[in-house]
């Protein structure tokens, strides 16, 4: 009988250097493995964002990411950019300050539906109204994932959540319509099955200016899908495959999402409008003349 043990074996195959994953330069690999559950859609969106950054060739020192709190809000911690994990609901005001102080930066807000449309909803509508120059990637998994699956302002009617065990009766937001009706010049929605389209949209939105909303529908198998008996993350992707309908330019008032019904995706709004900073520069430039210098580390109102 052989007495070879793991300790005494010498016939292991030679070690092979594994080439670096193409996304690795954009991630803080030392923080991997990440916290997301198997089948969660958030990581896919992080990958799409990283690929879009790579394709634009943007200097990573000129790109930053701001998240609030939640499973989606963990994204800022994994991206190898200047990243800010702010308090719950406050990613947009934090990002607003960052953009005004450092106008040369690409400032991306990456956070969840609860964070951006629930507790942070007021900041969301005012940033859209002011056309603040922010790219907002909003992960909509229809629930407060991190804290146990509570009802969110995006939970579809009749869907179950931990706080609505008999089904939701509160009408949810139609987020593309909310952003568009506040004046956002760029509004799109994809699911995290639409990897190529989502990546392309992020790439395009990076090159645009103003308040750009990309809503990404993503499965939360651990809470939303479990509470509603919808199966695994893969089942969620199958559902998107069979039920997503691409309608570019669709009237945003028609984009409500009903429980387990079709999800309209596409780019709905893409127009050019002056941003908050452009309006401010124009206004103060005409009122104050040379006493005003555009925002930046030393910009703004100059005391006489
Ligand atoms: C002021 C405050 N209120 C409540 C919480 C608890 N809390 C943390 S994450 C979260 C919900 C996050 O939901 P969402 O943004 O949809 O993220 P997800 O986890 O679904 O990705 C809540 C209510 C908190 N951290 N701070
Ligand atoms: S709880 Fe849901 S949203 Fe959070 S990591 Fe798990 S699957 Fe993703
Ligand atoms: Mg959520």
CA 230 to chain CA centroid, nearest Å: 23
Which of 39, 118, 145, 153, when mutated, tests ligand 1's pocket best, judged by the most ligand atoms within 8 Å of its CB? 145
Whether pLDDT at 165 is above 90: yes
Q: Which 3 state secondary structure label does DSSP give 136? A: strand
Compute the half-sphere exposure of residue 99: CA atoms within 13 Å on the CB side of its CA: 26
> 27 vs 6, which has greater pLDDT?
27
Whether pLDDT at 304 is above 50: no
Ligand nearest to the CA of 118: 1
Whose alpha carbon is nearest atom 8 of ligand 2?
Answer: 40
Q: DSSP letter at 129?
A: H
Beta strands in 132-276 (DSSP E): 135-140, 186-191, 212-217, 244-246, 263-270
> In the prediction, which pLDDT does 13 show?
77
What spacing in Å lies between the alpha carbon of 223 and ligand 3's midpoint?
Answer: 10
Whose alpha carbon is nearest atom 5 of ligand 2?
Answer: 36
**One-character DSSP codes across 178-208:** HHHHTT-SEEEEEETT-HHHHHHHHHHHHHS
Whether pLDDT at 148 is above 70: yes
In this prediction, residue 300 has a pLDDT band, given cuts at 50, 70 and 90, of low
Residue 67 CB–ligand 1 contact under 6 Å: no
What spacing in Å lies between the alpha carbon of 37 and ligand 2's midpoint?
Answer: 5
Whether pLDDT at 299 is above 90: no
Q: What is the pLDDT of residues 197-214, one digit of tens each?
A: 999 999 999 999 999 999
What spacing in Å lies between the alpha carbon of 294 and ligand 3's midpoint?
Answer: 37
Which of 114, 149, 221, when mutated, tests ligand 1's pocket best, judged by the most ligand atoms within 8 Å of its CB? 114
| Nearest-atom index, ligand 2, CA of 41 | 8
Whether pLDDT at 281 is above 60: yes
Kindly state the average pLDDT of the residues 100-119: 96
What is the distance between the alpha carbons of residues 54 and 43, in angstroms, rounded to a whole number?
17
What spacing in Å lies between the alpha carbon of 139 and ligand 3's midpoint?
Answer: 7
Residue 69 CB–ligand 1 contact under 6 Å: yes
Token pair for 208: 């645009």
Residue 63 CB–ligand 1 contact under 6 Å: no
Of 84, 91, 80, the closest CA to residue 132 belongs to 91
What spacing in Å lies between the alpha carbon of 105 and ligand 3's midpoint?
Answer: 27
What spacing in Å lies between the alpha carbon of 219 and ligand 3's midpoint?
Answer: 10
**One-character DSSP codes across 10-24:** --PPPP-PPPPPTTG
| Nearest-atom index, ligand 2, CA of 112 | 3
Whose alpha carbon is nearest atom 11 of ligand 1?
Answer: 144
> In the prediction, which pLDDT does 12 show?
76
> In the prediction, which pLDDT does 201 show?
98
Kindly state the average pLDDT of the residues 255-261: 98
Whether pLDDT at 3 is above 80: no
Whose alpha carbon is nearest atom 20 of ligand 1?
Answer: 145
Give the residues across from 85 on adjacent strands.
Answer: 67
* Domains annotated on the chain, with CATH: 31-272 (3.40.50.970), 274-304 (no CATH)
For ion ligand 3, residues whose CB falls within 5 Å: 112-114, 141, 145
| Least confident piece of the model among 11-25, 85-99, 289-303 | 289-303
Whether pLDDT at 81 is above 80: yes
Kindly state the average pLDDT of the residues 234-240: 98
């Amino acid at each position: 009988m052989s007495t070879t043990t793991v300790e005494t074996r010498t016939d292991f195959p030679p070690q092979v250097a594994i080439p670096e994953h193409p996304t690795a330069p954009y991630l803080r690999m030392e923080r991997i493995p990440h916290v997301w559950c198997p089948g969660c859609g958030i990581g896919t969106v992080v990958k799409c964002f990283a690929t879009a950054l790579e394709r634009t060739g943007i200097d990573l020192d000129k790109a930053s990411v701001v998240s609030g709190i939640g499973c989606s809000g963990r994204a800022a911690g994994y991206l190898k950019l200047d990243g800010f994990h702010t308090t719950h609901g406050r990613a947009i005001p934090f990002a607003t300050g960052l953009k005004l102080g450092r106008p040369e930066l690409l400032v991306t807000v990456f956070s969840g539906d609860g964070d951006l449309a629930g507790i942070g909803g007021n900041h969301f509508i005012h940033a859209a109204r002011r056309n603040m120059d922010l790219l907002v990637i909003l992960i909509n998994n229809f629930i407060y994932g991190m804290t146990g699956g509570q009802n969110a302002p995006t939970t579809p009617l009749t869907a179950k959540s931990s706080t609505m065990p008999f089904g939701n009766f509160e009408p949810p937001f139609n987020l593309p319509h909310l952003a568009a009706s506040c004046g956002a010049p760029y509004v799109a929605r994809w699911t995290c099955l639409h990897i190529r389209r989502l990546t392309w949209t992020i790439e395009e939105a990076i090159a645009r200016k103003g308040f750009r909303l990309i809503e990404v529908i993503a499965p939360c198998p651990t809470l939303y899908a479990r509470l509603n008996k919808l199966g695994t993350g893969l089942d969620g992707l199958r559902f998107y495959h069979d039920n997503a309908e691409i309608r570019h330019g669709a009237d945003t008032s028609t984009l409500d999402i009903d429980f387990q019904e079709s999800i309209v995706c596409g780019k709905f709004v893409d127009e050019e409008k002056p941003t908050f900073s452009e309006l401010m520069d124009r206004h103060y430039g005409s009122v104050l003349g040379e006493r005003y210098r555009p925002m930046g580390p030393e910009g703004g109102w100059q005391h006489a």
